[in-house]
Amino acid sequence: MSIEADVRRRAPRTESVGLHPTLPAEDYYAPEVFEIERERIFFRHWLCVGREEAIPNPGDYVVRDVVGESVLILRDRSNAIRAFYNVCRHRGSRLCSKPAGNLPGVIQCPYHAWTYTLEGNLVGTPNVSEADGLDRSEYPLHPVAVDRWDGFVFVNLSPEPAPLREQLGSDATDFARYRLGTLRVGHRVESVVEANWKILVENYCECLHCPTVHPELVDLVPTFKRGVIVEEDGGPGVRLRKGATTWTRTGRSNVPPFPWLPEEDRSLYHGMAIFPNVLVDLLPDVVRTEVLWPLGPERTLAVREWLFDPDAIARPDFDATDIIEFHDLVDGQDVAVCENAQKGVRSRAYRHGVYPPQDRFVYEFNERYRRARGPG
Amino acid sequence: MSIEADVRRRAPRTESVGLHPTLPAEDYYAPEVFEIERERIFFRHWLCVGREEAIPNPGDYVVRDVVGESVLILRDRSNAIRAFYNVCRHRGSRLCSKPAGNLPGVIQCPYHAWTYTLEGNLVGTPNVSEADGLDRSEYPLHPVAVDRWDGFVFVNLSPEPAPLREQLGSDATDFARYRLGTLRVGHRVESVVEANWKILVENYCECLHCPTVHPELVDLVPTFKRGVIVEEDGGPGVRLRKGATTWTRTGRSNVPPFPWLPEEDRSLYHGMAIFPNVLVDLLPDVVRTEVLWPLGPERTLAVREWLFDPDAIARPDFDATDIIEFHDLVDGQDVAVCENAQKGVRSRAYRHGVYPPQDRFVYEFNERYRRARGPG
Amino acid sequence: MSIEADVRRRAPRTESVGLHPTLPAEDYYAPEVFEIERERIFFRHWLCVGREEAIPNPGDYVVRDVVGESVLILRDRSNAIRAFYNVCRHRGSRLCSKPAGNLPGVIQCPYHAWTYTLEGNLVGTPNVSEADGLDRSEYPLHPVAVDRWDGFVFVNLSPEPAPLREQLGSDATDFARYRLGTLRVGHRVESVVEANWKILVENYCECLHCPTVHPELVDLVPTFKRGVIVEEDGGPGVRLRKGATTWTRTGRSNVPPFPWLPEEDRSLYHGMAIFPNVLVDLLPDVVRTEVLWPLGPERTLAVREWLFDPDAIARPDFDATDIIEFHDLVDGQDVAVCENAQKGVRSRAYRHGVYPPQDRFVYEFNERYRRARGPG
């Protein structure tokens, strides 16, 4: 969801979402809700597992833990990206135990050496011949749907997934001018947050907390100082303070802006929350993505990547330290309040909270969540 | 329950409680029993959260974990003690994360800066005006009942609690002559015991274990040597060995006896178990309290405080080391046997134990527990 | 189950077990399956708790954790072996907390000093006389059935166990010529494996994994190189490579072969899986036992003992280092693949695996498991 686009599409609003109740407290900690979310949200949606550039050549692979399921994502012999459950058909052994690497033309199970092509076909069963009654064609690897968008690789564990483009909607094109597909990862951080994944998404979707929690950020973004995440009419984006061109303590960096970026974006910030769990910050010189992987009802893995123009990365004087440090500062402030909120929602006194009108993007995320989760 | 008073009230006993079965084994480890206890015992009784002296001035507060619920206890602007669930009404965030401190006239949520008076009224919602439809008077902090007795602060999470005095019964007055309200904490220890809270209370309520477990203590208290916790007729209290005036290795200490204490108490020990989870040892120069907070079915936090005459504490030569060390010795012995008993009650061979007549105070604690817990 | 004997008894096979499905995936991780296994398999079968030699004299005892139940196994005053639940009848305390020791003629509870004879009769209840209504004869220790076979001690937690000999069947006599009862433990190792106990038994019951996982072992045992665990007709046993007389890197050791062993066994390996959880490797100079104790659905304690001729142990130049190191090498290889298989079976893509004909002993173990577990 590009928030500014969403605002423009809908404005002028004639009624406030007003004081709706928030999601009920147990949605943030109950193990049974978490199980429902795994099945109905995470195993039925396209989930971003990283960038294509991580597996450039045939045989290159990464292993990703997709909400508890180990998934093997690889480049096959025809250079296509494929994904499989990381499980042997013989007795269930994990096939690949390292997080990444290159497969020598086949995938071989470390237990009994059953061997599969990069396309998932079983071609070797040492000491067990087809004469023993084993028809190898009946035991291919279990496939996982895979698709790509602008350099991002998505997987979907549903046996009959809807198209990725349908899930992305206008998110797929709203920021085409940033040419996300050409960018490359310059920095990556993983960290575990002791909070439900939705608390982190909700934190991203509102700025009422900004004046209290992010003094450095509101100094850089005057709109946020007023507790709003985007101007009333959506605007062209969120304007940085005069003279600022990125998110750093000074508002400047030594990373050049994307050369292809229109002039009007060079002093703007845009945010996008791709349902269910991807958050994107677009700035003139960097795009920062955050993918939130629930590890349990009260624990989330945040995978953060900073994407830059590869030409900028290639420059000998490339130094994004101040950009990364500023995001780290803001991330740390958010993590602290989110972990604190997680503790509170467990209280028996807390049944649900309340959305003031300024929390309308939180409300809309929750509405989409409710629809995706369905009844029960 | 003052055990000696209880005995005097009932004696002469004409029948033994005899060989009743103890509580069934699962009451000491089953998670579902623990949940019932939380609801019916801990959330319906007054629970001692410490001493008034911890929050002497307006704005002073402590945060207590009350069987899994974070409760904020503070002194309001009129010097009254109040308690609230430590939860913001907006989105559930914890309000105070430090265990104690002073609030500057208001309670402000660290997330979105919603602000409450010390009386719990919502008075500030930055960037959200009442014009936005938010009627602040609808969102006060969730109150928790609070009351005091002789310097102790109690809270009750029930929405309609019975009076504290009713729960205390004669415990409130049996030892008025000790002037508990005037005493001050001279030492405090918290420790986690790997045993159900009831095993610790039961351990307090009998002395059949004393000759085996507490050789130093029975040397000091001849009654205990016979495996009884109080004389047959209750007596005036439990007499220390000749010449002893407190519980130390020598039977003496350099802390003077409470000046207001009648002569006859100056060589006596009295014990009191306040249902459900407070144990009190009254000695001529010190009153030791232990509050047992269940952390789970098989784990308990013991909060132990030693109360002294403030005039004694103020003396330059005040030294209670020998008093504290002796209690530590006895506590350690009890913890070891209680943790050992906890391991045993989980055995499938153990359905329940048996009460000899000497275990009658354990039996009576269990009967009170059964009544408080109710059927099911 | 002596695998070679099993083969001889049944051969020639006229039909393959073919491509049966394996046990369903949840049998390897579901807590509810583990509870059923505890009740119906582990608490109804004879379980090997070690060797008689560990408790040679009256009063000697060991404490064993039998799938979560603490059991006291001791030598009584008449030199008979007895076993009891390690639980006092008074209030459930553990009686013995050390893993082994010698009892001074009686068993005394550390809590209230209730005292039992080595035969389990309650004879002492300090400060509680029979006049108090306590009939001590009503409170003996809870007995556990115990029996012996060839120096091994077995317990059975069922109140009415079938005879041990019935459970052992031909296992009890197949290798009588090895005189297991005369052997002594020369080395013992305990280690925790992060896998279901059945994955470890199944790993023992097939050799399709050997060429991949155990390069050193298949070099020593040509049969294993072909992925089979025993010759087609059972044979006299599994022949070591020419010149080899035991399992070491060289195929030789400086431990002499059992003097009583027939010449034909001196270059053979025999394996035996005693249902449910004992694995035995018989070699000319050593017998290695492994007892698998489930600690939970996904965690197992492996207790491994190396048994030697006591005369060999007594020799000043006795050195079994190379024998032990080779077993450690093979064990480590098996543990790695078993832990890897455990991770895989949890995948939602894995419902069950498949048995090629070479996995027939795994299949037969699973069939015995299914019968022992019964319906539901």
CA pair distance A121, A116, nearest whole angstrom: 5
Domain stop point among B94, B121, B156:
B156
What integer pLDDT is reported at residue B14 of this predicted model?
40
Residues of B in contact with C86 (CB under 8 A): 344, 347
Q: Which residue of A has its CA nearest to C353?
A: A91
B342: left (phi over 0), alpha (psi -120 to 50) or beta: alpha
Q: Which of A90, A92, A111 sits opposite C25 (nearest CB)?
A: A92
pLDDT band at C233 (very low <50, low <70, confident <90, very high): confident
| pLDDT tier, C235 (very low <50, low <70, confident <90, very high otherwise) | confident
Chain A residue closest in CA terms to C351 = A92
The parent domain of residue B110 ranges over 60-156
Minimal CA separation from A112 to chain C, in Å = 4
Are A149 and A212 members of one domain?
A: no
Cα dist from B97 to A105, A199, B8, B48, B354, whole Å: 55, 18, 47, 21, 45
The answer on pLDDT for C230 being more than 50 is: yes
B64 and B184 belong to one structural domain: no
Other CB atoms within a 10 A radius of the CB of residue A216 amount to 14
Residue spans of chain A under pLDDT 70: 1, 3, 5-18, 376
Which residues of A sit within 8 Å Cβ distance of C? 43, 68-70, 85-95, 97, 110-113, 125-128, 132-134, 139, 142, 157
- For residue C188, what is the enclosing H or E element? strand C184-193
Q: How many domains does chain C have?
A: 2
C321-369 pLDDT, tens digit per residue, is 999 999 999 999 999 999 999 999 999 999 999 999 889 899 999 999 9
Same domain, C216 and C298: yes
Q: Give the β-pairing of A354-355 and A20-21.
A: antiparallel
Per-residue three-class SS string for B279-303 = EEEECCCCEEEEEEEEEECCEEEEE
Peptide bond before C12: cis, by omega within 30 degrees of 0? yes
Instruction: Give C-chain residues touching B353 at CB under 8 angstroms.
Output: 88-92
CB contact under 8 A, B19 and C134: yes
- A202 interaction partners in chain B (CB closer than 8 Å): 91
Mean pLDDT of all residues in chain C? 95
Indicate if B190 and B333 belong to the same structural domain: yes
Does a structural domain hold residue C164? no
Question: Which of C203, C226, C337 would best serve as a mutation to test chain A binding (most A beta carbons within 10 A)?
Answer: C337
**Is residue B250 in some structural domain?**
yes
Task: Identify the three-state secondary structure at position C116.
Answer: strand
Q: How far apart are CA C373 and CA C376, in angstroms?
A: 8
Q: Closest approach of chain A CAs to the CA of C326, in angstroms?
A: 20
pLDDT tens for each residue of C260-300: 999 999 999 999 999 999 999 999 999 999 999 999 999 99
Radius of gyration of chain C (CA): 22
Q: Do C354 and A90 touch (CB under 8 A)?
A: yes
Q: In this structure, what CATH number is given to the domain that contains residue C144?
A: 2.102.10.10
Judge whether B165 lies within some domain.
no
Q: Give the one of B69, B97, B139 whose C-beta lies nearest to A348's C-beta.
A: B69
* Gap between the terminal Cα atoms of chain B: 26
Give A135-170 pLDDT, tens digit per residue.
999 999 999 999 999 999 999 999 999 999 999 999
Instruction: Write the CA distances from C157 to A22, B158, B374, C141, C163, integer angstroms.
Output: 53, 46, 35, 14, 13
Flag whether C165 is in a domain.
no
Percent of chain C with pLDDT over 90: 90
Domain assignment of residue A165, yes or no: no
Cβ-based neighbours of C330, under 8 Å, separated by 6 or more: C214, C216, C217, C247
User: What six digits make up the tokens of C204?
Assistant: 């023992």
**Which of A20, A207, A298, A343 to mutate: most B Cβ within 10 Å?**
A343
Task: Kindly state whether residue C272 falls inside one of the protein's structural domains.
Answer: yes
Does ipTM exceed 0.90?
yes
Instruction: Give yes or no for residue C14 having a pLDDT over 60.
Output: no
Same-domain pairing of A85 and A216: no
Q: Are residues C107 and C254 in the same domain?
A: no
Distance from CA of C155 to the nearest CA of B (A): 15
Q: Which of C234, C229, C271, C274 is nearest to C365 (CA)?
A: C274
Same domain, B9 and B80: no
Is B32 part of any domain?
yes
Distance from C-alpha of A287 to C-alpha of A301, rounded to nearest angstrom: 20
So what's the pLDDT on residue B252? Answer: 98
Q: What is the CATH number of the domain that holds A329?
A: 3.90.380.10
Do C13 and C82 fall within a single domain? Answer: no
What's the pLDDT score for residue C12? 43
Inspect the interface and report whether the beta carbons of B212 and C126 lie closer than 8 Å: yes
In total, the C-beta contacts within 8 angstroms joining chain A to chain C are 95
Give the gap in angstroms from C-alpha B191 to the nearest C-alpha of chain C. Answer: 21
C52 pLDDT more than 60:
yes
Residues A220 and A74 in one domain: no
Q: A85 vs C349: CB contact, 8 Å cut-off?
A: yes
Q: In this model, does residue C11 exceed pLDDT 50?
A: no
Q: Does a structural domain hold residue A75?
A: yes
Same domain, C226 and C305: yes
Residues A142, A191: one domain?
Answer: no
For chain B, 376 residues long, give each residue's pLDDT as a single digit of tens: 676 766 666 544 444 445 789 999 999 999 999 999 999 999 999 999 999 999 999 999 999 999 999 999 999 999 999 999 999 999 999 999 999 999 999 999 999 999 999 999 999 999 999 888 899 999 999 999 999 999 999 999 999 999 999 999 999 999 999 999 999 999 999 999 999 999 999 999 999 999 999 999 999 999 999 999 988 887 889 999 999 999 999 999 999 999 999 999 999 999 999 999 999 999 999 999 999 999 999 999 999 999 999 999 999 999 999 999 999 999 999 999 999 999 999 999 999 999 998 898 999 999 999 999 998 6
Q: Domain ends where: A121, A156, A191?
A: A156
Q: Which residues neighbour C93 within 8 Å (Cβ) at sequence distance 6 or greater?
A: B337, B340, B341, B344, C87, C109, C110, C111, C112
Determine contact, residues C32/C49, Cβ cutoff 8 Å: no
Residue A65: list chain C partners with CB under 8 A: none
Strands (E), chain B: 47-51, 60-66, 69-75, 81-85, 100-102, 106-108, 115-117, 122-124, 143-149, 152-156, 184-193, 238-239, 268-274, 278-282, 287-296, 299-308
CB contact under 8 Å between A91 and C349, yes or no, is no
Same domain, A37 and A72: no
